[in-house]
């Protein structure tokens, strides 16, 4: 199955709030003139959200206030959470359908328990979330509260739709959910033109489960810039999300892996799914027309990539002759840097082992092997 793209011609109405100054903590966005620091701008959006039939109330599947991390992860496997929605629809930039399927079927552990040392976006996102919520309250006047529960869609036919809300907004008729986000140097690029599609999918999933009409997204970009967006309920988009999630959940229930995509996430999942081949085993696919077609495509793409690499290197070398002894060359549409890196000192491990062979036994470690994908008989 090909990766499914949501119908982007029916985008929900999204409003963007750009913070320009510091507001009073008691300022309300609906008061006359609105707070000085909030300027709402209409993003590009096609179609209006259908507000019909939004009176459903989510079921509280389990209270999470005293729930352990392990139990919380087990409950998440019982359905598709809002953070899973984009991956289940095949549009998440970091998580493929296949890897999500591996997690839901217990074949892989979620990377939510990533290392607390160094680079750890999930850790810092969770740590900074209360600060983002505090900022949101101060700059909108809205009050928020924690929702310590895993919520479930009230329709038994959609029991697989779960949601963990960051916060509920209290006392507002216009917006009921707050989703807090943090984005670093690389993630911030996805917010350049507004709310990324995968985040829109997440919030629409939340609105579907809870029956609410609108949500605010407060995102902290690179640790120093905050933006607030409003996403309104879009029934057509929600219907599309539900269809894709239902199909994905069938894969989980039938223990059928979805077709992998091109992503690193899919490659990571395949390594876990098929870690080691049976010794001297072989599968004959000569009578499988689909498999032979894929193999022909692989050969064609490989040849094309080699040709493109040759063209790329030729142009690169021609530009290097034009840059010559200069470090930077500037063009109409950009620039090229061709600088010399600093000299570095490294350990000559071969020389050390030759001079002190006893160190190899004392400090050696085994590096686990991996499968190599090689085209044979070519």
Work out the pLDDT band at 323, boundaries 50, 70, 90.
very high
Q: Residue 12's pLDDT is what? A: 46
Beta bridge partners of 149: 63
* pTM, rounded to two decimals: 0.76
Beta bridge partners of 40: 17
- How confident is the model over 120-124, as a mean pLDDT? 79
The tokens describing 124, both together, are 């810092």
CB 187 within 8 A of CB 128: no
Q: Residue 118's pLDDT is what? A: 58
Across the chain, mean pLDDT equals: 84
* pLDDT above 70: residue 2: no
User: How far, in Å, CA of 124 to CA of 84, rounded?
Assistant: 19
- Of 278, 277, 270, the closest CA to residue 107 belongs to 270
Q: What is the pLDDT of residues 37-91, one digit of tens each?
A: 322 232 333 233 444 444 468 888 888 888 887 887 788 889 999 999 999 999 9
Domains of the chain: 8-265 (3.90.320.10)
Q: What is the pLDDT of residues 357-374, one digit of tens each?
A: 999 888 888 888 889 999
CB 89 within 8 A of CB 245: yes
Q: Residue 120's pLDDT is what? A: 74
User: How far, in Å, CA of 148 to CA of 178, rounded?
Assistant: 14
User: How far, in Å, CA of 191 to CA of 87, rounded?
Assistant: 18
Q: Looking at the chain, how many residues does it have?
A: 378
Rounded to an integer, what is the distance from CA 136 to the centroid of its chain?
23
Alpha helix positions (H), 172-288: 197-210, 235-253, 264-273
Q: At what angle do helices 97-104 and 235-253 cross, to 10 degrees?
A: 60
Q: What is the pLDDT of residues 258-307, one digit of tens each?
A: 999 999 999 999 999 999 999 999 999 999 999 999 999 999 999 999 99
Q: Residue 29's pLDDT is what? A: 38
Q: Which one-letter DSSP state was computed for residue 238?
A: H
Q: What is the pLDDT of residues 151-200, one digit of tens each?
A: 999 999 999 999 999 999 998 989 999 999 999 988 999 999 999 999 99
| Dihedral sign from CA coordinates of 38, 41, 46, 49 | positive
CB 329 within 8 A of CB 322: yes
Rounded to an integer, what is the distance from CA 19 to the centroid of its chain?
25
- Of 48, 94, 104, 136, the closest CA to residue 263 belongs to 94
- Of 145, 247, 161, 148, the closest CA to residue 204 belongs to 161
Which residue is it, tokens 């599947």? 61
| Dihedral sign from CA coordinates of 307, 309, 311, 314 | negative
Q: Residue 119's pLDDT is what? A: 65
User: How far, in Å, CA of 209 to CA of 202, rounded?
Assistant: 11
* pLDDT above 50: residue 19: no
Which DSSP string corresponds to 37-66? TEEEEEPP--S-----S-----EEEEE-TT
Q: Residue 378's pLDDT is what? A: 60
Q: Other C-beta atoms within 10 Å of 164: how many?
A: 18
The tokens describing 212, both together, are 């609410």
Q: Residue 67's pLDDT is what? A: 83
Rounded to an integer, what is the distance from CA 47 to the centroid of its chain?
25
CB 249 within 8 A of CB 160: yes
């Amino acid at each position: 199955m090909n990766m499914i793209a949501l119908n982007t011609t029916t985008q929900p109405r999204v409003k963007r709030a750009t913070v320009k100054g510091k507001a009073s903590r008691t300022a309300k966005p609906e008061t006359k003139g609105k707070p000085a620091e909030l300027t709402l701008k209409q993003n590009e959006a096609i179609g209006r959200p259908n507000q019909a039939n939004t009176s459903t109330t989510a079921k509280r599947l389990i209270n999470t206030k005293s729930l352990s991390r392990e139990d919380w992860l087990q409950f998440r496997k019982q359905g598709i959470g809002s953070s899973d929605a984009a991956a289940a629809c095949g549009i998440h930039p970091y998580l493929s359908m296949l890897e999500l399927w591996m997690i839901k079927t217990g074949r892989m552990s979620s990377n939510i328990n990533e290392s607390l040392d160094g680079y750890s976006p999930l850790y810092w996102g969770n740590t900074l979330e209360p600060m983002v919520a505090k900022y949101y309250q101060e700059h909108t006047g809205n009050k928020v509260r924690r929702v310590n529960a895993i919520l479930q869609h009230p329709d038994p036919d959609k029991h697989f739709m779960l949601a963990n809300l960051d916060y509920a907004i209290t006392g507002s008729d216009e917006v009921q959910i707050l989703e807090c986000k943090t984005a670093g140097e690389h993630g911030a690029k996805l917010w350049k033109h507004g709310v990324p599609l995968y985040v829109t999918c997440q919030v629409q999933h939340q609105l579907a489960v809870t029956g609410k009409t609108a949500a605010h997204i407060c995102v902290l970009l690179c640790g120093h810039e905050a933006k607030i967006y409003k996403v309104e309920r879009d029934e057509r988009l929600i219907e599309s999300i539900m269809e894709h999630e239902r199909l994905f959940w069938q894969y989980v229930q039938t223990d059928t892996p979805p077709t992998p995509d091109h992503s690193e996430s899919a490659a990571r999942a395949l390594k876990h799914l098929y870690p080691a081949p049976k010794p001297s085993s072989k599968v004959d696919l000569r009578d499988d027309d689909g498999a032979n077609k894929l193999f022909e495509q692989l050969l064609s793409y490989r040849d094309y990539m080699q040709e493109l690499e040759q063209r790329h290197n030729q142009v690169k070398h021609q530009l290097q002759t034009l840059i010559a002894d200069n470090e930077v060359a500037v063009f109409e549409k950009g620039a090229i840097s061709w600088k010399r890196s600093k000299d570095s000192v490294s350990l000559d491990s071969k020389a050390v082992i030759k001079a002190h062979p006893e160190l190899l036994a004392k400090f050696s470690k085994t590096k686990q092997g991996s499968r190599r994908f090689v085209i044979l008989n070519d």
